[in-house]
Amino acid sequence: MTRRAFNPTAEQRGNVEAMIGYGIPEAEICLLIKNPETGKPIDLKTLRSHFAGEIATGVTKLKSLAGNRIVAAMLGRDGGLTDGLTQAKLLMLFAETRMGWKETVADEHANEDRRPFIIKVSKTDAKL
Q: Is the pLDDT of residue 108 over 80?
A: no
As for how many domains the chain has, the answer is 1
pLDDT in tens, 54-80: 999 999 999 998 888 888 888 878 766
CA 11 – CA 23 distance, rounded (Å): 18
For the chain, give the mean pLDDT. 84
Whether the full predicted model's pTM is greater than 0.85, yes or no, is no
Percent of all residues in the chain with a pLDDT value above 70, rounded to a whole number: 78
The boundaries of the domain holding residue 18 are 1-128
Residue 75's pLDDT is 81
3-class secondary structure, 10: helix
